């Protein structure tokens, strides 16, 4: 059972809880995932089985999309509703104010990582330091907000729902927190759903209950996506049978002699008879095709 399975993570589960559950369902130990989700969050969690785990760290598209709800006038130590309440403030801002503030968070911005995060500082996870009741200096990190739109608003309860398309490493909790700070009343994340990850969408996911049912029926493998689906955005070349064998043996093919197309950056490599082989790039200084990752064994 090799491939990618798209799971709609339920609230209350850590990403590792989902892996543990799927190990029990499939009896497969080698399972990885793309992009950790907080326990309160739901949504797209791509799982990589067996040989597909090689793709986890080289996915070309690591952008994400979320649907997030936040409440103005409330702040917590975790920046979400699961944390300890720090402040409760009277809210005078409304929908028009939220819409005006969103403009300042689109594009390339700098974000201060929350204390409750897995980022390491001097060898320690920030969340371990936070659990000791401490706060330390952190450096802001550059992130990109490609799209940020207001989907729903309720000025009575001061709750607002946004759609956010962003780069890897963006903390949606912090986006909501910073919106609240900009409005002068604070804000905390109350709901979070990841609707897209690694080019995969929520509509294509199945639940853990559905995964169990399909496993019992013997049809779960039909839900697996091929490894190469995560590289769909990359250019592609195809090698004949002789060059396929050389590539699988780790031989660096001469670009000119083997008529390798001039492609900048990484691309997928297929064999005429063997299908998807792996990922490679052209080294024009050495005139060689360089293998980055091999997925198809001899």
CATH number of the domain encompassing residue 270: 2.30.130.10
Range of the domain at 269: 234-294
Contact status, residue 222 vs residue 275, Cβ threshold 8 Å: no
Q: Phi, psi at residue 93, to the nearest 5°?
A: -75, 155
Q: Are residues 122 and 143 in the same domain?
A: yes
Supply the pTM of this predicted model.
0.91
Domain boundary among 230, 245, 279: 230
Q: Are residues 188 and 79 in the same domain?
A: yes
Q: Which residue is catalytic, options 8, 38, 97, 178?
A: 38
Contact status, residue 53 vs residue 5, Cβ threshold 8 Å: no
Active site residue 38: yes
* Segment 180-201, tens digit of pLDDT: 999 999 999 999 999 999 999 9
Across the chain, the runs of DSSP E, i.e. the strands, are: 3-9, 31-33, 42-49, 64-72, 74-76, 85-88, 107-111, 120-121, 124-125, 141-154, 159-166, 187-197, 200-201, 236-239, 253-254, 267-271, 275-283, 288-294
| Residue 298, pLDDT score | 54
Q: Are residues 143 and 180 in the same domain?
A: yes
**CATH number for the domain harbouring residue 20:** 3.30.2350.10
| Residue 154, pLDDT score | 98
Q: How many residues does the chain have?
A: 298
Task: Please tell me what DSSP assigns to residue 206.
Answer: B
| Residue 90, pLDDT score | 96
Q: Are residues 46 and 100 in the same domain?
A: no
Domain boundary among 215, 230, 245: 230
Sheet architecture: strand order including 288-294? 236-239, 267-271, 275-283, 288-294, 253-254
Q: Are residues 111 and 167 in the same domain?
A: yes
Partnered with residue 293 across adjacent β-strands are 279
Please give the Cα distance from 64 to 166 (Å, whole number).
5
Q: Are residues 69 and 175 in the same domain?
A: yes
Count of structural domains, the chain: 3
Residue with tokens 């990885």: 32
Half-sphere exposure at residue 249, Cβ-oriented, CA atoms within 13 angstroms? 8
| Residue 61, pLDDT score | 82
Q: Are residues 189 and 109 in the same domain?
A: yes
Q: Are residues 193 and 69 in the same domain?
A: yes
Please give the Cα distance from 240 to 179 (Å, whole number).
55
Q: Which residues of the chain are modeled with pLDDT < 70?
A: 298
| Residue 167, pLDDT score | 96
| Residue 138, pLDDT score | 85
Half-sphere exposure at residue 232, Cβ-oriented, CA atoms within 13 angstroms? 7
* Segment 241-296, tens digit of pLDDT: 999 999 999 999 999 999 899 999 999 999 999 999 999 999 999 999 999 999 98
Q: Are residues 166 and 95 in the same domain?
A: yes
Domain boundary among 177, 197, 217: 197
Q: Are residues 218 and 269 in the same domain?
A: no
Contact status, residue 195 vs residue 37, Cβ threshold 8 Å: no
Q: Are residues 254 and 162 in the same domain?
A: no
Residues 200-219 as b or e (16 or more Cβ within 10 Å = b)? bebeebbebeebbebbeeee
* Helices 208-217 and 15-26: angle between axes, nearest 10 degrees: 10
Partnered with residue 88 across adjacent β-strands are 74
Q: Are residues 213 and 178 in the same domain?
A: no
């Amino acid at each position: 059972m090799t491939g990618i399975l798209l799971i709609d993570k339920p609230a209350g589960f850590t990403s590792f809880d989902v892996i543990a559950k799927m190990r029990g369902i499939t009896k497969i130990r080698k399972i990885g995932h793309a992009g950790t989700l907080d326990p309160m969050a739901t949504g797209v969690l791509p799982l990589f089985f067996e040989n597909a785990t090689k793709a986890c760290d080289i996915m070309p598209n690591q952008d994400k999309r979320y649907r997030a709800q936040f409440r103005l006038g409330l702040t917590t130590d975790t920046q979400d509703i699961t944390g300890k309440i720090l402040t409760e403030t009277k809210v005078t801002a409304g929908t028009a104010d939220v819409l005006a503030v969103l403009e300042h968070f689109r594009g390339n911005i700098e974000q201060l990582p929350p204390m409750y995060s897995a980022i390491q500082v001097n060898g320690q996870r920030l969340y371990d330091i936070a659990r000791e009741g401490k706060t330390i200096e952190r450096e802001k990190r550059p992130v990109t907000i490609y799209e940020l739109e207001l989907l729903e608003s309720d000025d009575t309860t001061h709750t607002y729902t946004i759609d956010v398309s962003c780069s890897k490493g963006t903390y949606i909790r912090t986006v909501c927190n910073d919106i609240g700070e900009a409005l002068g009343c604070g804000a905390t994340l109350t709901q979070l759903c990841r609707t897209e990850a690694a080019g995969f969408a929520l509509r294509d996911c199945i639940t853990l209950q559905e995964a169990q049912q399909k496993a019992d029926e013997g049809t779960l493998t039909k839900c697996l996506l091929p490894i190469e689906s995560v590289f769909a955005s990359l250019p592609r070349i195809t090698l004949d049978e002789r060059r396929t064998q050389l590539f699988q043996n780790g031989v660096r093919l001469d670009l000119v002699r083997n008529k390798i197309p001039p492609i900048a950056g990484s691309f997928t490599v297929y064999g005429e008879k063997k299908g998807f082989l792996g990922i490679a790039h052209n080294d024009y200084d050495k005139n060689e095709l360089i293998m980055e990752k091999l997925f198809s064994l001899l």
